[in-house]
C-alpha cells in the first residue's frame, strides 16, 4: 500500500469514527509517515476516543472489552493516561486511570487501573511503577494492551491506600 492509499483508508476510518481500523493501520502508518504526520495520526485517534468517552458517559453505560470499538477506545485512553504518567503528570494520569476504571465492565481492567491510579497518587515515577509494581513478563503472557499483572508490592500499595481511606 502506498502513502495515498493509506491516507484514503485512514480518512474513511475517521469518517466512520472507527478507532479499531485506525489501530489496524498503525504499523503501515509507522512505515510510511514521518514523525509529524504520525503525531497527527495519534491525535486523531485520541480525539475520536475522547468523543466516544463523552458519549459513553452521557449515555450512562460502561464500555465492554469484547466490543471492538470500546476495546480500541479504552486502549487509546489508556495510552493517553500513560503519556501523562510518562510526562511527569502523575495527578493527571491518576485522574484518567480513575475514569478508565469506572468506564469498563471488565473487572480485571478495572482492578489494574486501581493499581495504576494508586501508584500515580503516590507520585511513583513511571519507571518505578514498571520496575517495582508491574510484572511485565506476565502481562506480556496475558496479551493485554495494558499493564495487567503486578507484584506483591502492588497489592501492598492498594492495602495501604485502603487503610488510609478508613
pLDDT per residue as tens digits for the range 117-138: 999 999 999 999 999 999 999 9
pLDDT per residue as tens digits for the range 54-77: 999 999 999 999 999 999 999 999
Q: What is the chain written as a DSSP string?
A: --HHHHHHHHHHHHHTT-HHHHHHTHHHHHHH--HHHHHHHHHHHHHHHHHHHHHHHHTT--B-TTSHHHHHHHHHHHHHHHHHHHTT-HHHHHHHHHHHHHHBS-HHHHHHHHHHHHHHHTT--HHHIIIIIB-HHHHHHHT-SS---B-HHHHHHHHHHHHHH-
Q: What percent of the chain has pLDDT over 70?
A: 97
Amino acid at each position: 500500500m502506498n502513502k495515498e492509499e493509506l491516507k484514503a483508508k485512514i480518512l474513511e476510518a475517521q469518517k466512520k469514527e472507527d478507532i479499531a481500523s485506525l489501530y489496524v493501520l498503525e504499523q503501515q502508518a509507522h512505515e510510511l509517515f514521518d514523525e509529524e504526520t504520525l503525531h497527527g495520526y495519534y491525535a486523531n485517534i485520541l480525539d475520536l476516543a475522547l468523543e466516544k468517552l463523552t458519549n459513553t458517559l452521557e449515555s450512562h453505560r460502561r464500555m465492554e472489552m469484547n466490543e471492538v470499538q470500546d476495546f480500541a477506545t479504552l486502549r487509546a485512553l489508556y495510552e493517553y493516561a500513560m503519556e501523562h504518567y510518562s510526562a511527569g503528570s502523575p495527578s493527571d494520569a491518576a485522574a484518567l486511570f480513575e475514569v478508565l476504571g469506572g468506564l469498563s465492565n471488565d473487572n480485571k481492567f478495572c482492578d489494574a487501573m486501581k493499581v495504576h491510579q494508586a501508584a500515580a497518587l503516590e507520585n511513583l515515577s513511571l519507571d518505578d511503577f514498571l520496575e517495582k509494581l508491574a510484572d511485565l513478563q506476565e502481562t506480556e503472557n496475558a496479551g493485554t494492551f495494558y499493564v495487567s499483572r503486578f507484584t506483591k508490592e502492588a497489592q501492598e500499595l492498594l492495602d495501604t491506600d485502603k487503610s488510609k481511606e478508613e
